[in-house]
Structure 1
C-alpha cells in the first residue's frame, strides 16, 4: 500500500529513535504535522521556532538520541537558525524538517521563498532536499544517520506539495549506528610513550571528546602522577571522582588549571579542541589525541597528533609507560586548586544583608538542588557562576552555550531536557537579558505543564557585556535593562513566581521554589557591580579597569567605583 511522503518521513524518524518534534504548525508543513498527529511522535507547540531548535538540542545533547524540529516555509524555517547553530555546535543529533513553498512556484519570486540549502548547509552534518517521493525514506534515513553518528544537526528540505505526494516506499532503508574501536598505530603510540618518558612536568588536558573515558583518564593520571585540567564542557564528567583534577584553564577557569597548563613541559590534549590559543603553553611540547583528524593542531601548533578514541588510546598506551611518583608539578597544582576553591567560597561572603552576590546565590542553589539535577545557564555571567559554583558529582548534568555563545539559550534548552527527563529536577540559570529576549515560550512551559525551575539573575543590565566594557577601560554603555517584576509576570501567565531582594529571604524562597509542582520562576536581585574575575589578573586588565574608574569618577559615578572595588578586590 502506498504512503504519503509525510507518513514516510514521520515513520522513519520514529524508527530512528525520535520521540518528539518541536515547532509551529501552518501552511507548507500542515500535512506533515497531520502525520505526526496520528502518533506516536509527540508535537511540542512552541511560541518561537528558535526555542524549538534550542529545546530539541537540549534534549538530544542530554540523551544522545534523535530529536526533531520542523517549521513552515520562509520565516518559519528561518526562525530556527540561531537555535540550530547552537545545537549543531554542541554536537546534538537533531533533524530539522525545513519546508519550502510548492515546487511550481519556485524561482518566481513567490512570497516566503527561501533557498534553505544555502542557509543551512553551513551549520549541519547533512543538508539535502527530497526531490522525488521515492527518495523520502532514503533521505531521512541518511539525515538521521549523519546526525547520530557525526554529532550535529541534519536538515531535510521538503516542498509543501511534496508532503502530499504518494510513494510505493518499496525499499526499506534503515539507520545504522556502528561503534568502531579506533586507536593510533603502534608506531604512533611508541612515539607518544617516548615523549612522556622524556618529560618532567606533564599535564593532562581533557575535553568533551573524553566523555565516557573518565575512568581511563584517572588511571593514566595516577599512573604518571600528573594533574588533570578539563575544559568547561567536560566539567560534568571529569570533575567528579578524579583525585588529580585541578580545574579549568581559560578566562572562565581557575588559577590552578591555568598554571598547570602554562607551566608544563608536555601537554596531553585528550579529546580537547580548546579554542583560545593564548591559553596553550608557550614552550611545552603538545601531543593531541582526537577522534577527528581535522581537529589536530587546529587551535595551537602541536608536536604529535594522533587519531583515536581517548579510552581505547589510553588502554593501548598504558602498557608502554613506566609508573611515576607524584612530583612537585602535581602537588603545586593540587595546593593551588584547594586555594582556588576556598577563594570561590570566600567570594560569597557579604556583611551587608541587603546585597545578594550571584556567587552566593549559586552556592545556595548548589546546596539545595537535587543530586541528579540537570542544569543549563545563559551565555554570559550565569554560565560563569554555574561553572565555578555548581558541583559535579557524576549524576548532575550541565549544558551551557560555550561554542556558540548565544543569549537566551538556558530555559529553552531546559524545556527539551525536561521533556527527556520528566522525573528529574531541571534548572535554568537565566540572565535578565536572556530571559527577556525569549519570554514568549514561558507560555509553552505552562501549556505543557513542564516543571522547569527558572532562576533569574536580575542585575538590571547586560552584566557580562558591562564587565567587558569596563575591563577594556571604557564606560559601560547601552547595557541598562528596565525589567519587570519577573515573579509577578510568571504568576500572570499561570506559573509560580517569586521575587527576592534581600539575602535573608533567599534560602526559604529557594526551598519553596524548588519544591513547587510545575514550572516556577525565582527572580533574584543580584549585585550589579560584580566582575567576572579571570584566574590570573594581568597588568593590562588592572590598568584598563583603573582607566574605567577614572572615567567613572569624572562622570559623577564615584560611588560605583567604590562599590566595584569593595565587591571584587577588597573582600
Structure 2
C-alpha cells in the first residue's frame, strides 16, 4: 500500500526516482542530515559519497552530458554549496541538465548571523537558471517539478535549497511524474528552408563544422557533405561522430586540430554549423556566409557572425537541405583541395604517433590509446595539454564517446567524469586521460572509485609541469613561475588507494602495459612519464 504520509526528504527521493534519477552525488553535512537519513532507508536512489563537493558536481555534469537526463548533486549549506560551484560552472557552460539540492539554515535563522549561512540563491545565481529556497513543506513537489522541467527543457542548472528543519516535516502531497512532452511533427519543409538552400547554392568552397549536436545525424552530415562538395571539420564535441575513413572529414580545427585545416577553412565562402556553438577564432574565413543549425539557437550567445539561424534538430534539417541540393554542381577542385589536406594530415598524424623516445612523446601515448582501447570505449578528458594532444592525434572510432569540459575548461574534470560514466555504463570500458596537474586537483577521489569498485583506467600524462600554461607563457614572452609541479609517486598513491598501478619504462612496452591495465578487473592507473613538448602550433602564436 502506498504511503500517504512522507517526510519532505522521503518525498524528494520518491519524486526524483519518478524523474528517472538513479543516484545523487555529494558530501555529507549537517544541513542535509535529513536527506542523508532518508537516502539510507531506501534503495531506489544510491548516494555516491565523494571526497570533495566539486567532484560531486563534476560527476553530475558528466552524467547529464553522457545521458541527456537529469543528474543530481547535493551539499550542505555555506562552504559545501560553495565547493560545488566549479562543477556547476561546467554544467552551466556545456548545457548539462543538473539539479542541485543544498541544505540551508533553519527557517528561523535565515538572514541572520548563523553559522555557514549565506544567501544561496545569490551564490548560485551565475550558474543556476532556476533557484528557489523551500519556504513550506507543502511546496516541495511544485518546486521539484519546476526545477526538473527547467533543467531538462532548457539544458541548464537548477537549484533548490532546503532549510534543515524542513527535511523531517510530514507532508501528504504525492509525487507525480513529469508530463509527457510531444515534440510534434517537424515543421520544416524544403520550402521553409529555401533561404538556407539559396545561400548554400552560392557556394564554391563550402565547409561544414559539426559538433555534439550532430550526434543523431552523422550519416546525414556525411551525405550532405558529399552532395554539396564540402569538407567536414569537427569541434572537440564532434570527436567520434565520424569514422576516420570518412572521405570528406578533415578532423578538428583550432588549438589541437588538423594543423592544415585552416588553409582550406579560411578560403570557405559558405559555412554550415551543424550542432555546434563553437567558433574557432583566429582560424576562420573573414567573408564567409554562415548558416547555423541549433535546437536552442535563440539562446546562443557565442558571438558567431551568423547570417541565417535555423532553430531545430540537426537530424531534421540536414536531410531536407541535402534533398534541396539535388542537381547542385559541386566544385571538384574544392573537394580535391579538402581531400589533399586530409591525406596530408593523415600521413603526418601517423608519423607523429610513431615518435620514439623516453620520456614518451604525447603523440605516441595518444596513438597507443588508439590501438588498445575498446571500439566502444568512453573517454573522459581533463583540461590542459592532454586535451590538445588528444584533439590533435586521437583517431576515435565511431562507437566511442568523449566527455570533456567544453566551454568552462576546468582542470579536474577527467577522473570524476570517468567515475560517473562507469556508474552509468558499467559494461563499457572507461578511460580517463588526465594531466598530472589536473589529476592532483581531485586526487583524493581515487578512493571514491575504490569504494564503489569502479573499474576505470586513468592514464596520467606525467611531465611534471603545467605544460599548456608554460607554452602560452613562452609564446607571450612572459617569465615562468609556478608551472613546475611537485608530484607524488602516482603508482604508490594509487596502490595506497586500492588501485592497481602501472608505469611503462620505455615507449616500446607502452601498448602492452596499457593492454594489461585496460584488462585488469579493478581501478587502474598508468603513470606515463611524458616528454615536455611545446605544442607545435603554439610556437607560432
Mark yes or no: TM-score above 0.5.
yes
The equivalent of 1:341 in structure 2 is 346
In the aligned structure 2, how far is the partner of 1:240 from the partner of 1:18? 36
Shift in Å, 1:506:
2.4
Kept in 2: contact 1:138–1:173 (CA 8 A): no
**Per-residue deviation, residues 21-65 of structure 1 (Å, max 9, x unmatched):** 111123111111222221210011111111111112222211222
Query: In structure 2, the residue corresponding to 1:422 is in which secondary structure?
Result: coil
- Is 1:139 the counterpart of 2:143? The answer is yes
Query: Structure 1 residues 171 and 35, CA, compared in 2 at 3 Å: closer, same or farther?
Result: closer
**Alpha-carbon distance in 2 for matches of 1:401, 1:59:** 12
Task: State the alpha-carbon separation in 1 of the partners of residues 505 and 393 from structure 2.
Answer: 21
- When residues 28 and 258 of structure 1 are mapped into structure 2, their CA distance, relative to the original with a 3 A threshold, is same
Could you give the per-residue CA deviations for residues 335-375 of structure 1, whole angstroms, max 9, x where no partner exists?
111211221222233454x3310110111111011111110
Q: Which residue does the alignment assign to 1:111?
A: 115
- The corresponding residue for 1:50 is 54
Which of 423, 431, 440 in structure 2 is aligned with 1:436?
A: 440
CA 175–466 in structure 1, closer or farther in 2 if over 3 Å, else same: farther
Change beyond 3 A, Cα 1:187–1:81: same
Contact 2:260–2:345 under 8 Å retained in 1:
yes
Please identify which structure carries the higher helix content. 1
1:118-151 residue CA offsets vs partner (Å, 9 max, x unmatched): 1223213322222211111121122122222222
Q: Does 2:374 match 1:370?
A: yes
1:227 matched residue in structure 2:
231
Task: Answer yes or no: is the 8 Å Cα contact 2:14–2:175 preserved in 1.
Answer: no
Task: List aligned pairs for 1:133-532, cutoff 5 A.
Answer: 133-169=137-173, 172=176, 174-182=178-186, 189-239=193-243, 242-294=246-298, 298-323=302-327, 324-325=329-330, 327-352=332-357, 354-528=358-532, 530-532=533-535
Q: Provide the rounded CA distance (Å) in 2 between the counterparts of 1:145 and 1:467.
A: 44
Q: Residues 296 and 126 (structure 1 numbering): CA distance in 2 closer, same or farther, change over 3 Å?
A: closer
* Partner SS, residue 391 of structure 2: helix
Q: Where in structure 1 are there 5+ consecutive unaligned residues?
A: 545-571
1:12 to 10, 15, 19: 15
Which runs of no fewer than 5 residues in structure 2 stay unpaired? none
Once the two structures are TM-superposed, the CA of residue 167 in structure 1 deviates from its matched residue by 1.6
Alpha-carbon distance in structure 2 between the residues aligned to 1:142 and 1:241: 45
Question: Could you list the per-position Cα deviations for residues 528-559 of structure 1 after superposition, in whole angstroms to 9, with x for gaps in the alignment?
Answer: 1x12223xx7xxx54x7xxxxxxxxxxxxxxx
CA root-mean-square deviation? 2.1
Whether the 8 Å contact between 1:255 and 1:337 is mirrored in structure 2 is no
**Whole-angstrom CA distance in 1 between matches of 2:311 and 2:130:** 23
Greater CA drift, 468-477 or 328-337:
468-477
Tell me the secondary structure at the aligned position of residue 163 of structure 1: coil
- State the secondary structure of the residue aligned to 2:167: helix
Pick closer, same or farther for the CA change 1:274–1:170 going to 2, 3 Å. closer
Return the offset for 1:78: 1.4
Distance 1:10 1:436, change over 3 A: same
Q: Counterparts of 1:325 and 1:189 in 2: how far apart (Å)?
A: 19
How far 1:255 moved relative to its partner? Answer: 3.2
Are 1:25 and 2:35 counterparts?
no
- Structure 2 equivalent of residue 558 of structure 1: none
Counterparts in 2 of 1:476 and 1:149: CA distance versus 1, 3 Å: same
